[in-house]
Amino acid sequence: MVNQAHIFLINSKKNAFKWADAVTAGSKEAFDYYSKLGTKVFFVPNAIDIKSLPLGNDKRYEKQIIFAGRLSKEKGILTILETAKNLPKDVHLIIVGAGPEENVVVEFVKNIDNVHFLGYQTKEKTIPLIRGSILLIQPSFAEGISATLLESMACKTPIIATNVGGNKELFVHNKTGILIEPGNSNELLKEIMRMLNDQNLREEIARSAYDAVQKYDWSNVGQLYLNLYKQLQS
């Protein structure tokens, strides 16, 4: 049986495209997808305002790593929990966020001393936690150009992410980030330990990622929107 709600969404999307003067895609993956549908799309990447990021460094543990995002299967939270079972006791994982798997996380941390669930946190609190962490991990099964990853790059906190979607646009493996296969808790653990044990690699990746994220700053992306508006008016 055809899902009527699905048909409604498809038709609504088509109508929205007809009404719009321009359609922008925030990632190359989205650009390719909508272009194949016959829609004229302009690629304008997602952006952050680097200068406006909250200040501060919230380092609670000597070896602190962090996940900040939606607590859902597609964001890889179950992969993270499986990995956390085998983390050395002196490596502390902070989990920030909310979502459908929140109860699973709450139950999990009751039995593991080096995993700390902080629930939903504002950006003013999350950014210092990211800046105070040695690594940020985000093993999503699907991803666009994630604001959290852009913010972590701007904080000079190295990232381990999955080789999917927008992540493949953001990162060059072993240069601006670490890319792993989704759903592979053993590989995630291996890369966490490799990064923790190689300060030179962490520092090199942090510098390269910070340089790379500059093109996603609103000072640059904003100009792309201005250029598009001028093109539409001409």
Q: What digits encode the pLDDT tens for the residues 180-193?
A: 999 999 999 999 99
Percent of all residues in the chain with a pLDDT value above 90, rounded to a whole number? 72
Q: Is the pLDDT of residue 9 over 60?
A: no
DSSP, collapsed to helix, strand or coil, labels residue 20 as coil
Task: Please give the distance of CA 148 from its chain centroid, rounded to a whole number.
Answer: 5
DSSP for 109-162 reads HTT-TTEEEEES--HHHHHHHHHT-SEEEE--SS-SS-HHHHHHHHTT--EEEE
Question: 204 burial class (0-12, 13-18, 19+ CB within 10 angstroms)?
Answer: middle
113-145 pLDDT, tens digit per residue, is: 999 999 999 999 999 999 999 999 999 999 989
The sign of the dihedral angle between the CA atoms of 103, 79, 183, 130 is positive
- Residue whose C-alpha is closest to residue 150's, from 171, 129, 179, 135: 171
Q: Is the pLDDT of residue 33 over 80?
A: no
Token pair listed for 41: 């799309």
pLDDT of residue 79: 98
Token pair listed for 142: 């699907």
**Per-residue confidence at 2, pLDDT binned at 50, 70, 90?**
very low
200-233 pLDDT, tens digit per residue, is: 999 999 999 999 999 999 888 767 666 666 666 7
pLDDT of residue 16: 55
pLDDT (mean) for 68-86:
98
Assess if CATH 3.40.50.2000 describes domain 50-215. Answer: yes
Percent of all residues in the chain with a pLDDT value above 70, rounded to a whole number? 77
156-175 pLDDT, tens digit per residue, is: 999 999 999 999 999 999 99
pLDDT of residue 179: 98
pLDDT of residue 1: 39
Q: What is the residue extent of each domain of the chain? A: 1-43, 50-215
Residue with tokens 């039995």: 111
> How many Å from the N-terminal Cα to the C-terminal Cα in the chain?
47
Q: Which range (17-21, 32-36, 186-190, 215-219) has the least confidence?
A: 17-21
